[in-house]
Structure 1
């Protein structure tokens, strides 16, 4: 499968007192990647019917990004869902090709109408494995 990619360039508000992207910003960008991937790949009817919530972030920080620098984020799903959850991989790569931040995140699917967790149907997962 081909990873979904997006570029990210920090704004002055994203930079902490150490002069690089704040850890909370990386978490926001991880969520932005998941949301954008869902919107780009999922059937519009599924986007209307379901919403995702994160249940776990496991993040490795291997470098820094300063103001004026950019990264390319890529995300993909390696394994089929388990019940209501699945794991998503996210990597942020700098211009030199070095992975700066990598993450494994676990997401759970909620039925919008009932507000309850629900098992991920095969037809919802399928487009993410093409």
Structure 2
């Protein structure tokens, strides 16, 4: 399991009417880090041949994030079988190392040429 991390700072645009990070923003961060991890670990040829679609998403919110907080996103693939992959994303307050939210997403691997699900190759599995 290869972990990919990214750090971000909470801005005013991330906040809801309670001055906490909006729940929708956490979902966006989960999607953004999954995409960044994919782009980092794939070649141009792989990127042009395959893509992922989201099948399911669960997120558990533990504690709020506030304006100016430094957020650490950690993601890794926990399972890749057949045409599906399961990814975890943990979201921490970097200063306190407090878990703010935890997400699990299930993705389907598709071919650009057929637009149909395709088996995850051993090469792709090895990259994650």
Q: Using structure 1 for the length normalisation, give the TM-score.
A: 0.92
Measured after TM superposition, the shift of residue 44 of structure 1 is 2.5
Name whichever structure is richer in strand by fraction.
Answer: 2
Give the match for residue 14 of structure 1. 14
Could you give the per-residue CA deviations for residues 49-81 of structure 1, whole angstroms, max 9, x where no partner exists?
1111111111110001111112100001122x2
Matched residue pairs, number? 127
CA distance in 1, matches of 2:22, 2:28: 10
Measured after TM superposition, the shift of residue 45 of structure 1 is 1.4
Contact 2:88 2:104 in 1 (8 A): yes
Matched, 1:47 2:47: yes
For structure 1, the 5+ residue unaligned runs are none
Contact 1:90 1:103 in 2 (8 A): yes
Measured after TM superposition, the shift of residue 2 of structure 1 is 4.1
Matched, 1:74 2:77: no
Q: Over aligned residue pairs, what C-alpha RMSD do you find?
A: 1.1
Measured after TM superposition, the shift of residue 47 of structure 1 is 1.0
Secondary structure of 2:45's aligned partner: helix
Matched, 1:61 2:64: no
For structure 2, the 5+ residue unaligned runs are none
Give the match for residue 87 of structure 2. 88
